[in-house]
Structure 1
Amino acid sequence: MDYPATAASLDHLPNGLTVILDPDPAAPVISAQVWVETGSLHEGSLLGSGVSHFLEHMVFKGGGRFGADELATSVQAAGGHWNAYTTFDRTVYYIDGPASGLGTFLEVLAAMVFTPALPEEEFEKEKDVIRREIDMGLDDPDDVSGRLMFSTAFTSDPRRHPVIGHRGLFDEISYPGLTGYHRSRYTPDRCCLCLSGDFDAEAVKAQIEALFGGFARGSGAEPVVPQDPVQLGPRRGRATFSVPASKISLAWKIPPLGHPDVPAYDLAAAVLGRGRSARLYRHLREERGLALEISAWSWSQAGRGGLFAISAEAVPEKRDELIAAILAELADFPSTALDDDLAKARRQIAASQFKSLTTASGRATDLASNWHEARDLDFTRRYLAALKATTAADVRRAMARLTEDQMSLSILDPADAPAPATLKRATRVRPEPECVTLPNGATIALLPDPRVPIFTAQVAVRAGLVSEIPENAGLNALFAATLPQGTVRRSAAELAGLLESHGATLGAASGNNALLAQMGGLSPDLSTLLPLLAEVLVEPAFHGDSIEREKASQTASLREAMEDPLSTAFRLARAHLFDGIGYGIHALGTEASLAGLDRFALSAHHSRHFQGSNTVVALAGDFDLVHAREVLAEGIGRLPMGTPWVPPSATVRGDFEIEAFLPKKQAVLALAYPGCSALAPERFALRMIQEWCTDMAGPLFIRIREELGLAYQVGATQFHGHDAGFFGFYLATDPSQVDLAQRELVSEISKIAEDGIPEDAFERVRATVLSSLALGLQSPGSIARLAAIDVLFGLPVTHHREVAAIFQTITPGEVKQAAAKLLGTRPVTARVLPAG
């Protein structure tokens, strides 16, 4: 299958603004994106300060006719979901939402990008917010490991600096420096406006000309961006951190995008480190047990060389042996047979690219990225063709250049570790789903969607966290990690190889109320792949070596979570709220409970829960209804009928305060209230409250983050259980301000408990919720997941389509009543503070 040629148009306004229009009436949604060709590479005299990222924050403070609050409320009222991000070479602003909001989205983007207010009174306040963000990054081991890798691999190239900037250089940014940077870099000739979704192209062109045509073209030379000199020898970087395992990166410089060797490196990365059947994963994790996790990746930019890298985690005792084994694998790579592995890699990459076309946001990102990198909207199509044309000889020749003397090795060790010695055209027709019950009691939900030749099968089984007790805590997480690793007929390597040769994915996850398994693939392979899914569900092997590897990996994740302030705060709050049982158990378990889990425990869990009466399978995507029903009935029908599993009743209690201490820079606060069940009528009102408390136009963000500058992170989260739920508030702040931040958070919660959502904001919140629902119904994967969970809880297979109508009828009075009920009791309060 070839990647479809784009039907999008490319045009330029007289001032140099590039305009990409991709009308697609398949769904009434829109993605509007402005790509500014400036990032941390382009900061000139301010290099390393993070001024690009700082400016990204400041443009949200108002612009054009909009004040800061008016920007947020206007986007929210139009149902928009907006955000931005900054990388080395770009800053991207995007709004996704209903097609009816396009006019508002365009006006907001034009105002904030080209005529931002950049209020001087907000300058120092926003600086404090970003200082908290910098501290959060320095608390995150993955962030620290990534910084170490880039600073080791690059010596002169600006990519050696973190995009967010170094704290000392960031502190030196002046207000004139920020505004001057905006004037010099945010010019229309350096920008691309890309729209994808349901709109009339001719009508939109006039809007764009009116809103964007009056901005002046830029002037002045581009900043000189240095390139790294030729690497003359290996480079090494090492640091220590509070992590349970060593994080290792081996990286090599590779040519820029457009060089004929780049497709070869992409294919080699997939062969070596993409998926469970990849060579490094299979040889060094599964067979030899040297790595806890391992992957490979390749990354290049236009006009600037990139990296081929292998990232891994290992216990410190096996770190050096793992590095030597990786180098041995690379040395042997050119002499091995590659044809079958390359065919699998091409299919994997094609499947991934096809999936990006299922949403308006994905299509807009693909088009804008193609323009940014290649000035060619069909670059993805041409690049996939280049991958197809790349031979095994090409890959061998490219990989032979990755010698040890050209390597950059970075290691983030525990503190006590010794130093080392693709797309069918969418249609307006939406086929109706159907739901059938098999003789063994299993339910099959079929949700056809012919837009793209892919499918997703989502399995939901009654189990999850509420099926555990403290003595076997972590069972469901370990079960989910081990389930896809082989069956009684096939080894883990055979299963992974078969899946990945079809570009398919298979995974499992554990939730609060269910065990989930998901398979995705290309539609022509459905007859091959669905029987494999059934085989995994009915005949899992639970090999002892797989269990031990996953236990080691889960233990490492548990230790890392125990050092994360936000995770710790919620763990403590939930444990008390639910009396340490059911939903109060930590999903990863404890080291003691994990040590006691074995093949017998997993097999017993499978026997009790994987029965027809406990199972729902939802299939969404492009397939023939009759054929899919027959294939699923044959495979899933092999499960025994069994008896429905009924979860135990939850115990809920509140009014308790907990404090914990970690060696971190930030303080975190979590407040936990008893939420509602998955079928409670007030769940819709609570969703409105959650949105109101999380949105950038909501009271928590405006008061605590914007007005007072007390927190970088503040918001609300919730989950629904069988008979009880959880509704939590959280914030991350400077330790010296934690008491004030807590008082302000409690004050804002009290206002919500008394008043609900103010009437002048109610419709904006409703619009945002409705937009979230629409955006979440674009891809087969999200549709299948929603349908499977709904049916598992006894709701109709079409419930996900009906939810929007429910939100359309909800009233401020109903939300106020739900807020009073939810927040009328004293919560469990957990504070995590820096040690010492």
Structure 2
Amino acid sequence: MFMEFPVTSATVRILPNGLTIILDPDDSAPVVSSQLWVETGSIHEARLLGSGVSHFLEHMVFKGGGDFGPSDLAETVQAAGGHWNAYTSFDRTVYYIDGPASGLNSFLDVLAAMVFHPHLPESEFEKEKDVIRREIDMGLDDPDDTNHRLLFNTAFSRDARRQPVIGHRHLFDKITYDDLRTYHATRYTPERACLCLAGDFDPAVILGKIDALFASIPRGSGEEPLIPVDPAQLGPRRGRDTFAVPTSRITLSWKIPSLGHPDIPALDIAAAILGRGRSARLYRSIREEKELALEISAWSWSQSACEGLFAVSAETSPEKREALIAAIREELAAFPNSALEDDIAKAKRQIAASQFRTLTTISGRASDLASNWHEARDLDFTRSYLAQLDAVTAADIRRAFTHLTDSVETLTILDPEGTPAPASIAARKRRRPEPETFTLANGTTIALLPDPKVPVIALQAAVRAGAASETPGTAGLNRLLASALPKATRHRSAAELANTLESLGAAIGASSGNNSLLIQLSGLSPDLATLIPLFGEVLCEPALDSASIEREKSSQLASLQESLEDPLSVGFRNLRSRLFGKSGFGIPSLGDESSLTSLNRLSLAAHHSLHFRGPNVCLALAGDFDPAEAKELLTAALDPLPGGDAWHPSRSEVLDPSELVVPLDKKQAVLALGYPGCAALDEHRHALRMLQEWSSDMAGPFFTRIREELGLAYQVGATQFHGHDTGLFAFYMATNPDQIELAEEELRSQIAQLGSEGIPDEAFERVRSTVLSATAIEQQAPGSIARHAAIDLLFGLPADHFRQLTGIYETITPDEVRTAAHQLLAHRLPVLIRVLPPSDPTA
């Protein structure tokens, strides 16, 4: 059954100066997304190609514009409750602000000022260059970034996309202040821009505001830059590098035509069949059966007017590297001659489900519309492209596969250091029904939160377990169980389960946290009667077979080894163990090599038996469904869960303050300072949410003082979690090792001021607005709603408690936040972790 993507009701208007205006009003939720897309990116940098000037300019426009001073932009957005950011890619720079509908006028004021009338203060030029230099260094410490650079630099010989968006350090250093201003004047012009608004607004009213802000901006002039493109690739290309990673990362890719070519939909379907999900052919054959890969996927990437890539990406141990490459080639060679019809139907369903999920949030809808305009100048391009996908046949895929010839193949390998080189997208407006909560005979608590806006559903189970249920000898157990749990059941093999789910465009997964194990499922509403019984099988009767567990252990071990090379991960791993000791929240979620080695099927089965009991399980279903039908299905699906007594975690240990220096041979240094935080039901938890926002926001003291004024950090902020009886509130910063002492001094100074003064009265309403808008945004998608409800139920709160948060934050006072800050930060010293490069270069 093909489900058509809805025809958009959005409208397009082009101002006389060339600025495109897309308006998509929707009053189903009191939120808006305002996005300004500028059609310029790293490929448009002309003589500055490879310098990253597009990305640099994106940073600099946040320094003030129009009538807004350096801090006024952030304060205005915060006061209006906005959440803002920007990104730069190959062919676009996008600025967006999401928030409450009441803030739209302010959001437009800010976007117009920063994008078209930025101050670009010369006094900030070198300071921001230092920030980006550290960002470049962080990228060089990141294996994913390195692998991406290796692929694009090898696959493309002259194409502008072979240059990293952030730029090469030596070219970035050469950018002058005049270069920056000239690039803005030349590229940030209205005929190269699109303003897209989606959400709760009156088009007639907002058009007047738009005209007042944007209509007088003069149209640009000058020719478009000459963008280098590749000549025809006439032979295979190879690239290899090494990095501090535990596994080899392999990518086999082929050049494919640009978006718009009739074979592109067929190649997208082929990529989904081969590598999308656990029932995909490559996953089943190469990972599960041959056990040659830890992870494997396939993808197809295409843009308008330029070549794209069809690729298979995989991770494996170095000794299996060449066998893996051979197996991938063997699978792809056999693919066109195999039976494809059933897999084609599954792939179409998967892609349709993914596109429908974009409609569940206003931000997703705005992005879909703006992207459609950017690529095709057609707001309904997603709809027409899905129709093209639905028309794909096996014959189309076989024809499209002829593009994947040896002459356009590229192979890249990122090996561990020391490894020898190889030998060879209009939601329906309906009234939202009230939630219902009920308890089964076995003690399982279930909440139904129907919302018929979009035909999708989300199911979330929260099981009382998590970090508090582990010991040093079982560290990583919850993470491993979460990985193995949704793979197969006693009644369905891994292939059968994955194939059934993915044929419906559905997905199931699990994760572990501090207080619980979480199992989630998403899918389309018509499949409710199929999906709920499957979810029940996964929850009640997982197979937990030894072979699958061993594969997941290998993947978890690789993740562990990689995390031990990441400065921020190392900082928080040590912070938690220093604060909570060797039990509960002090145990690393990934475990360690010793504990992972000892875990087996018996360990996981015993853990499942202890925790997966009715009184330990809370479940929430959100989305478009019939409550009566859902209640009947859930009752039958979860009835096999045993009853008995609820499991309760032991009391957490909180250790005395201490300091630790952790040597790590990286280009950056990390500071992490942690304090015992709130329990999940602590009266101060909402006040600490305000403190966290103030400490992490771009208008807050940590960002403005440490990053902007002093240029001491690329990353700085705060994070927290709430546990069953205590929690963690932590501050962190990534900085230059040479500046570590000054950075620590400033960080401690800001924390001390926060502990004594809380949030300044003049900033309090701005922080409140930001928290309120974040709360509204989090309550849009069914997956987020179900997650909130299930976790709240687990702690004894009502299923709709998350809907009460708006009222709580509207009434919280500066004195309450000041009291919480003083209690958190003034009564004891923190645990302090410094992650630094070794002082001895040979260490």
Q: TM-score, normalised by structure 2?
A: 0.99
Q: Is the 8 A contact 2:15 2:215 kept in 1?
A: yes
Aligned to 1:594, what secondary structure does the other structure show? helix
Q: How does 1:256-271 map to 2 (within 5 A)?
A: 256-271=258-273
- Counterpart CA distance in 2 for 1:31 and 1:816 is 32
How many angstroms does 1:652 deviate by?
0.7
Partner of 1:486: 488
Per-residue Cα deviation, 1:730-772 (whole angstroms, up to 9, x for no partner):
0000000011000000000000001000000000000000000
Q: Is the 8 A contact 2:471 2:582 kept in 1?
A: no
Matched, 1:826 2:829: yes
Partner of 1:470: 472
Matched, 1:662 2:643: no
Letter in 2 for 1:133: E
How many angstroms does 1:834 deviate by?
1.3
Q: How does 1:432-511 map to 2 (within 5 A)?
A: 432-511=434-513
Partner of 2:147: 145
- Counterpart CA distance in 2 for 1:829 and 1:654 is 11
How many angstroms does 1:614 deviate by?
0.5
Q: TM-score, normalised by structure 1?
A: 0.99
Partner of 2:530: 528
How many angstroms does 1:403 deviate by?
2.1
- Counterpart CA distance in 2 for 1:506 and 1:655 is 41
How many angstroms does 1:133 deviate by?
0.3
Matched, 1:356 2:358: yes
How many angstroms does 1:417 deviate by?
1.0
Q: Is the 8 A contact 1:423 1:453 kept in 2?
A: no
Aligned to 2:487, what secondary structure does the other structure show? coil
Q: Is the 8 A contact 2:7 2:426 kept in 1?
A: no
Equivalent in 577, 596, 599 of residue 579 of structure 2:
577
How many angstroms does 1:654 deviate by?
3.5
Q: Is the 8 A contact 2:360 2:781 kept in 1?
A: yes
How many angstroms does 1:404 deviate by?
2.7
How many angstroms does 1:82 deviate by?
0.2
User: Which stretch has the larger CA shift, 640-649 or 362-371?
Assistant: 640-649
Letter in 1 for 2:85: N
Q: Is the 8 A contact 2:336 2:398 kept in 1?
A: yes
Partner of 1:540: 542
Partner of 1:803: 805
Partner of 1:107: 109
Partner of 1:776: 778
Letter in 1 for 2:733: L
Partner of 2:277: 275
How many angstroms does 1:364 deviate by?
0.2
Q: Is the 8 A contact 1:184 1:219 kept in 2?
A: yes
Per-residue Cα deviation, 1:59-95 (whole angstroms, up to 9, x for no partner):
0000000012000000000000000000000000000
Equivalent in 364, 388, 393 of residue 391 of structure 1:
393
Aligned to 1:35, what secondary structure does the other structure show? strand
Partner of 1:590: 592
Letter in 1 for 2:390: K
Q: How does 1:415-434 map to 2 (within 5 A)?
A: 415-421=417-423, 424-427=427-430, 429-434=431-436
Letter in 2 for 1:596: S
Partner of 2:252: 250
Partner of 1:73: 75
How many angstroms does 1:358 deviate by?
0.6
Matched, 1:116 2:118: yes
Partner of 1:602: 604
- Counterpart CA distance in 1 for 2:404 and 2:656 is 58
How many angstroms does 1:638 deviate by?
1.5
How many angstroms does 1:401 deviate by?
2.4
- Counterpart CA distance in 1 for 2:722 and 2:374 is 42
Equivalent in 132, 135, 140 of residue 134 of structure 2:
132
Per-residue Cα deviation, 1:563-612 (whole angstroms, up to 9, x for no partner):
11000001001101001210000000000000000000000001000001
Q: How does 1:306-345 map to 2 (within 5 A)?
A: 306-345=308-347
Letter in 1 for 2:539: L
How many angstroms does 1:167 deviate by?
0.2
- Counterpart CA distance in 2 for 1:800 and 1:537 is 25
Partner of 1:724: 726
Partner of 1:235: 237
Q: 4+ runs of 1 displaced by more than 3 Å?
A: none
Aligned to 1:15, what secondary structure does the other structure show? coil
Q: Is the 8 A contact 1:424 1:453 kept in 2?
A: no
Letter in 1 for 2:143: P
How many angstroms does 1:621 deviate by?
0.2
Taking only aligned residues, the RMSD between alpha carbons, in angstroms, comes to 0.7
How many angstroms does 1:798 deviate by?
1.3
Partner of 2:368: 366
- Counterpart CA distance in 2 for 1:642 and 1:156 is 67
Letter in 2 for 1:595: T
Q: How does 1:32-51 map to 2 (within 5 A)?
A: 32-51=34-53
- Counterpart CA distance in 1 for 2:4 and 2:555 is 38
- Counterpart CA distance in 2 for 1:396 and 1:280 is 17
Structure 1 segments unaligned to the other structure (5+ residues): none
Aligned to 2:660, what secondary structure does the other structure show? strand
Aligned to 1:671, what secondary structure does the other structure show? strand
Letter in 2 for 1:606: H
**1:423/1:555 CA distance change after superposition, 3 Å:** farther
Letter in 1 for 2:460: Q
Structure 2 segments unaligned to the other structure (5+ residues): none
Per-residue Cα deviation, 1:426-472 (whole angstroms, up to 9, x for no partner):
33x22110100011100110000000000000000000111000001
Per-residue Cα deviation, 1:45-67 (whole angstroms, up to 9, x for no partner):
00000000000000000000001
- Counterpart CA distance in 2 for 1:700 and 1:267 is 47
Equivalent in 96, 99, 113 of residue 97 of structure 1:
99
Q: Is the 8 A contact 2:256 2:403 kept in 1?
A: no
- Counterpart CA distance in 1 for 2:717 and 2:822 is 18
Letter in 1 for 2:487: Q
How many angstroms does 1:418 deviate by?
1.2
Per-residue Cα deviation, 1:395-436 (whole angstroms, up to 9, x for no partner):
111113212332111111001211011665133x22110100
How many angstroms does 1:642 deviate by?
2.1
Equivalent in 792, 795, 806 of residue 793 of structure 1:
795
Per-residue Cα deviation, 1:106-141 (whole angstroms, up to 9, x for no partner):
010000000000000000000000000000000000
Partner of 1:64: 66
Matched, 1:162 2:157: no
- Counterpart CA distance in 2 for 1:717 and 1:424 is 34
Equivalent pairs counted in the alignment come to 835
How many angstroms does 1:546 deviate by?
0.5
Q: Is the 8 A contact 1:426 1:452 kept in 2?
A: no
- Counterpart CA distance in 2 for 1:3 and 1:813 is 50
Equivalent in 207, 217, 222 of residue 215 of structure 1:
217
Q: Is the 8 A contact 2:691 2:821 kept in 1?
A: yes
- Counterpart CA distance in 2 for 1:795 and 1:678 is 10
Equivalent in 712, 721, 736 of residue 710 of structure 1:
712
Letter in 1 for 2:67: R
Partner of 2:182: 180
Per-residue Cα deviation, 1:334-391 (whole angstroms, up to 9, x for no partner):
0001011011000000000000001110000000000000000000000000001111
Q: How does 1:642-657 map to 2 (within 5 A)?
A: 642-657=644-659
Q: Is the 8 A contact 2:571 2:833 kept in 1?
A: yes
- Counterpart CA distance in 2 for 1:654 and 1:778 is 41
User: Which stretch has the larger CA shift, 405-414 or 496-505?
Assistant: 405-414
Letter in 2 for 1:440: N
Matched, 1:414 2:416: yes
- Counterpart CA distance in 2 for 1:229 and 1:654 is 64
Aligned to 2:762, what secondary structure does the other structure show? helix
Q: Is the 8 A contact 2:677 2:727 kept in 1?
A: yes
Aligned to 1:357, what secondary structure does the other structure show? helix
